[in-house]
Structure 1
Amino acid sequence: MTSTEYVILVDAYDHEIGIEKKTTAHRLGKQHRAFSVFIFNNKNNEKKLLLQQRQKNKYHSGGLWTNTCCSHPRPGENIITAGERRLQEEMGIRIPLQKVGEFQYTAQLDNGLIENEYDHVLIGYTPIETIPFNQKEVADVRWVSLKTLEQELLRQPEKFTSWFEPALKIALRSS
């Protein structure tokens, strides 16, 4: 994370109230706009979700598994455009996304930072199985069946990011 990245500060209704350096927003726990992307495929009539393992050097939650892609829109950028941009940058996938819901969450992170996000959940579908992910951003990827994922979340929830499960529930309602 560089000090020149900015996030959009929002109120409880996702109305923009300003911008802030990303580092400052996370250090002070200021609520800001974010998005979580979930990419599915239905090979052999079994729905699977593409997960990413965050690079260990990420500014928070390094090494944890999470949804396909997550980030923050730039000031002036809409959510769908931001999601499609980051999906291309992190995963090398260019597909249309649709917004299916939103939620707010706050979490104290492993390094003292605070997540306080108004998170928009986006979904998309692809038949692609081999993902040309950006190794500077992502440590690993895998397709996982929803049944296997459910078991993993029950057995080892600490291996997943704090926002993953609430965002997943929204994504699954509409997928």
Structure 2
Amino acid sequence: MEEFVVLVNPEDDVLGLMEKQQAHINGLLHRAFSVFLFNSKGEMLLQKRASGKYHSPNQWTNAVCSHPKEGETYLEGAQRRLNEELGIKADLSEKFSFIYKADVGGGLWEHELDHVFVGNHETGFNLNKEEVEDVRYISMKDLDQEITENPGNFTEWFKIILEEYKHHF
């Protein structure tokens, strides 16, 4: 089944729809969201992308990152994907939005107006193995060290979004 993304200008005015992979080939600006989840120890939840993903397989990234559907708010999309990928629900609050562009390899680009949400969750996942290989919690200190030592183990967009997140907190 084809998936579509919502193309926008930098002010978030809708320009139209495009098939997701084509938008990533063309590097066109589209709507996206990212979710950062933390446990009671302040550790961040990471997900390892499934090996069958068409880009960035087997790389670690934030809890959820995806695209709202046409007519769906950023928050609705974020909550939908938490359920679809991790099998969970969480109260989320939007912290900021920004635009970034990242080369994700294979001639594909993530060029996104990204709304970043934060929430809390402890345990009890029901992973969709077509999307998510594994999950784990990690301290911010250990995460920074892992990214420094093995940057290729993490998605390009996560490294960008994480740095932007640090500027807001």
What range is the shorter-chain TM-score in? over 0.9
Q: Which of residues 58, 62, 66 is equivalent to 1:67?
A: 62
Shift of 1:135: 1.2
Q: Distance in 2 between matches of 1:123 and 1:172?
A: 13
Residue of structure 2 equivalent to 1:52: 47
Residue of structure 1 equivalent to 2:34: 36
Deviation track 1:19-62 (CA, whole Å, cap 9, x = no partner) reads 111121111111101111111012xxx31011000011111111
Deviation track 1:53-79 (CA, whole Å, cap 9, x = no partner) reads 001111111111000011000001000
Q: Which of residues 144, 151, 154 is equivalent to 2:138?
A: 144
Matched AA of 2:36? F
Residue of structure 2 equivalent to 1:135: 129
The 3 A distance-change label for structure 1 pair 124 and 173 is: farther
Residue of structure 2 equivalent to 1:122: 117
* Structure 2 unaligned regions, length at least 5: none
Equivalent pairs counted in the alignment come to 169
* Structure 1 unaligned regions, length at least 5: none
Residue of structure 1 equivalent to 2:11: 13
Q: Which of residues 107, 111, 116 is equivalent to 1:112?
A: 107
Shift of 1:11: 0.6
Secondary structure in structure 1 of the residue aligned to 2:24? helix
Give TM-score, length-normalised by structure 2: 0.93
Deviation track 1:57-115 (CA, whole Å, cap 9, x = no partner) reads 11111111000011000001000010000001101111121111112111222221121
Matched AA of 1:95? A
